[in-house]
Amino acid sequence: MKRLAAWTAALLMAGAAFAEYPEKPIRLIVPFAPGGVTDTSGRVVAEALAKRLGQSIVVENKAGASGNIGTQGVATAPPDGYTLVLGFDGTLVINPHVFPNFPFDVQKDLAPVGKIGDATLIIVAHPSFPAKTLGELIAYSKRQPDGVSYGTSGVGGTPHIAGELLKQRTGARLTHIPYKGGGQAMTDALGGNVPLVYTAVAGAMQHVKAGRLVPIAVSSRTRTPSLPDVPTFIEAGVPDFESSSWVALLAPAGTPRPVIEKLNRELNAVLTDPPIVEKLATLGIVATPGPPQQLADQIRADLAKYGQVVKAAGIKAE
């Protein structure tokens, strides 16, 4: 009886302590350089989340190894709720298959807080490219002895994996041209040096609207609000083809459940706030509030899906 009373008292004390969380500033590690869409989306959410939590959230950029370095730092940080990471699908569900010595276990070493949103991907073409639809592109590529080149932000990134998935699903003859960032790939596409680019909608939208690039298809399940006239891959004839990039918040494994639940609750409130939803939309990100388990399920499913694509394509980090 005394033991039960002591255990109950300990739980009540712990609950009271968690109710006061956070009592000091929180660090949000962004495992990429400042200025990109991922970094900007993290800062938008961090600012709004800090207001709801009543504590500042300090954003720290720790780039390197395609996001592995900064993310590993959080995976090994104290699980007290004061160190979070801006998770990116490329780092969490693609890199484990691409890097031969991946430094941590995504599912064991990190605790999902919640998904922030999906960043829709798009294939765009230079206006001189003869194919204007996905069906025409696939057919045209099969008639070319060397196939058709498509540029992306680099080896192993989500656009590269999505391109390989398209090849495997349709038999399209596509040759990957990796660049050191999506900006360089876009520059070459605008100049006609590469006929196609697979990239995030946010990076291509202004050029599509200006008529400098021709949109072929978006790889989300439904059409993107920012380019409502562009069909999805599914609509264009590739059944069940969905390959969007996504961003999320995670904490070190072992972070107390009440802390995770509070962070998730406040994050979801942020992601249903119209001004924040609009800010994310301008970055090409569709806000996706939901419980931690929903993010955990997506990580598990995407690890399996992309693992098969990477293995079939023989992709390895450079």
The pLDDT of residue 282 is 84
Whether the upstream peptide bond of residue 178 has omega within 30° of 0, thus cis, is no
Residues in contact with 312: Cβ distance below 8 Å, sequence separation at least 6, in sequence order: 164, 168
Query: What is the spatial distance between Cα 37 and Cα 202, in angstroms, rounded to a whole number?
Result: 8
Phi and psi torsions of 19, nearest 5°: -65, -25
The pLDDT of residue 76 is 97
Task: Please count the other Cβ atoms lying within 10 Å of the Cβ belonging to residue 285.
Answer: 28
Task: Please count the other Cβ atoms lying within 10 Å of the Cβ belonging to residue 193.
Answer: 13
Displacement of CA 148 from its chain's centroid (Å): 26
- Residue whose tokens read 């039960």: 4
Q: Where does residue 253 rank: exposed (0-12), middle (13-18), buried (19+ CB within 10 A)?
A: middle
- What is the sign of the dihedral through the CA atoms of 77, 81, 86 and 92? positive
Residues in contact with 9: Cβ distance below 8 Å, sequence separation at least 6, in sequence order: none
3-state SS assignment for residue 102: coil
Structural domains of the chain, ranges and CATH numbers in brackets: 26-119+245-313 (3.40.190.150), 125-218 (3.40.190.10)
Q: How confident is the prediction along the chain (318 residues), in pLDDT tens digits per residue?
A: 443 443 443 344 445 556 799 999 999 999 988 887 888 899 999 999 999 999 999 999 998 888 999 999 999 999 999 999 999 999 999 999 999 999 999 999 999 999 999 988 999 999 999 999 999 999 999 999 999 999 998 888 899 999 999 999 999 999 999 987 788 899 999 999 999 999 989 889 899 999 999 999 999 888 988 899 999 999 999 998 988 889 999 999 999 999 999 999 999 999 999 999 999 988 889 999 999 999 999 999 999 999 999 999 998 886
